[in-house]
Structure formats: structure tokens, C-alpha cells
Amino acid sequence: MRYGIFSDVHSNLPALEAVIAAFQKEAIDQYICIGDVVGYAANPKECIAKVKELNPILIAGNHDWACVDMIGTRDFNPIAQEAVDWTRLQLSVAEKDFLKSLELLIDDDEFTLVHGTLDNPEDFNYLSDRLDAQVNFELLSGRLCFIGHTHVPGIFIRQDNHVEYIQKYPLQLSSGSKYIVNSGSVGQPRDRNPQASYCIFDSANQTIEIKRVDYDIKEAQRRIVAAGLPIFLSKRLAIGR
Ligand code: ZN
């Protein structure tokens, strides 16, 4: 089985289209979306429609839930809050119902899915470093967990109680280790690489790869400005921060 895993689309349609085109060359059997389909950029409705077409396994991100008042925006910075308020006004009842229906955590035979962290997923904390990863490995019943939220792609590996962090792919999984994989962000990368990020898990070969693809950043920026969203949300796309 080849899984196409992606996260943090954040209403960036040009980036999502580029990632879908890249996935189409990868013989994907099943898509997985790790949350935050909406929030920040200018095409929430189109992104929800495109994601639904992929028929993915889906979980909720903090922006998805904030836009439908499942969580408050107290922890959001003012720019993120403004984007949530704008997005809320764009969505139809059906689109809101779709976001409301997303689950916080999925435990499959092969993997666990959560947007932020395994400890209190509803708090949407950040899993950013090896210390955070150590805590989460203790809570991981299986051996493989896919996350998003930080917009920084990378893989934490626990072997013999030692946690390592890698950003080199493809990775060959080994049976004695556990893995927490951040697939990075489709629509707003923050690792100083502005290319859209996506991940492929091949369960037969036991390999994981995180890849990057160019997309029309200028078009995404133009749409953000035209929508009247904060200019910063447009500028950051060019620098991947
Ligand atoms: Zn996000």
C-alpha cells in the first residue's frame, strides 16, 4: 500500500494542486490528510472540495476547528485570528459540517494520526524537538505516527530509548524502532524552503519519503492580497517562514 500523506494546506490552492499533481506520479493507493485544510490563504472552499475528492483519511487541525468554533482562538496570534474570521465568513453550512466532523486522533493498525501531539490532542500543542518527541513516543502504542502543525518536515526516530531527528530521505524503517513523522506543510512551509511539502509511506517496502515541489507562489500571494487578508501571510510564502 502506498499512502500519500499531506498536512497544513491552509487554503493555498496553487500549492495543493501542485502536490496533487506530484502525488499522481506516485501510484498512491490511499491519501491521508493530517489537518488544517483551511486558514491563512485565500481558497478555503476550493481546498475543501479538492481534498474531499481525494477521499482521504482525515483528521482535524486547530484552524479547521477554530473556523467552526469547536475551539476558541485565544491561543492564535492576531494575524491567524484575522484569517480564521475571514475564512469563517466564506464557508457554507455543508463545508462547516465537514470541518466539524473531523476527528482529533485516528489509531489504525499501521499508524496513528494526530495534528499536534498525542498528549491532549485537543490542546494542539507543538511537537518541535526531541524532548517533545520523547514524551510522545511514550504515548504511542504503535510504531508509527504522522503529525503536522509545526509546518517543519522531519522524522523523529526512537531506538533503544534514544531519540534521533533526521531530514534525509528516503528512510528505510526498521522493526525495532518507533517513528514520528511530520510531513511538513503544503500551503505554508516554515523551514525556509518555500516549496510545498508532502510525504509518501510505502507499507510494503517500509519506506518513508518527504518530498518538495515548486508551485505558483506569486499566484497564491496575489490571491491573498486580493482577498484582503493580512499582507504578512502573502510575504511569508516566498521565504518559507
Ligand atoms: Zn497549520
Write the pLDDT tens digit of every residue in 13-38: 999 999 999 999 999 999 999 999 99
Mean pLDDT in residue range 132-156: 97
Per-residue model confidence (pLDDT) at position 111: 98
Distance 36 CA to ligand 1 centre (A): 5
Query: What's the pLDDT tens digit per position in 87-104?
Result: 999 999 999 999 999 999
Residues surrounding ion ligand 1 at CB below 5 Å:
8, 36
Distance 198 CA to ligand 1 centre (A): 14
Q: How does residue 123 score in pLDDT terms, banded at 50, 70 and 90?
A: very high
Per-residue model confidence (pLDDT) at position 154: 98
Query: What's the pLDDT tens digit per position in 146-164?
Result: 999 999 999 999 999 899 9
Q: Which amino acid is at 192?
A: R
Distance 176 CA to ligand 1 centre (A): 31
The region that residue 234 occupies, defined by phi over 0 for left and psi between -120 and 50 for alpha, beta otherwise, is alpha
Query: Of all residues in the chain, what percent carry a pLDDT higher than 90?
Result: 99
Per-residue model confidence (pLDDT) at position 194: 98
Q: How does residue 68 score in pLDDT terms, banded at 50, 70 and 90?
A: very high
Per-residue model confidence (pLDDT) at position 197: 98
Does the CA dihedral 73-79-85-88 come out positive or negative? negative
Q: Are 103 and 126 in contact (CB under 8 A)?
A: no
Distance 80 CA to ligand 1 centre (A): 10
Cα distances from 165 to residues 35, 168, 208, in angstroms, run 22, 9, 14
Other beta carbons within 10 angstroms of residue 77's beta carbon come to 10
Mean pLDDT in residue range 218-223: 98
Per-residue model confidence (pLDDT) at position 170: 97
Cell of 152: 517543519
Distance 203 CA to ligand 1 centre (A): 26
Per-residue model confidence (pLDDT) at position 234: 98
Output the pTM of the full model.
0.97
Query: What's the pLDDT tens digit per position in 108-120?
Result: 999 999 999 999 9
Q: Are 215 and 14 in contact (CB under 8 A)?
A: yes
Distance 197 CA to ligand 1 centre (A): 13
Distance 8 CA to ligand 1 centre (A): 5
Cα distances from 210 to residues 85, 107, 193, 205, in angstroms, run 32, 22, 13, 15
Per-residue model confidence (pLDDT) at position 151: 98
Distance 172 CA to ligand 1 centre (A): 27
Q: How does residue 213 score in pLDDT terms, banded at 50, 70 and 90?
A: very high
d(CA 204, CA 229): 44
Distance 160 CA to ligand 1 centre (A): 31
Of 85, 47, 43, nearest in space to 66 by CA: 85
Q: How does residue 176 score in pLDDT terms, banded at 50, 70 and 90?
A: very high
* Percent of the chain as helix, strand, coil, to the nearest 5: 35, 25, 45
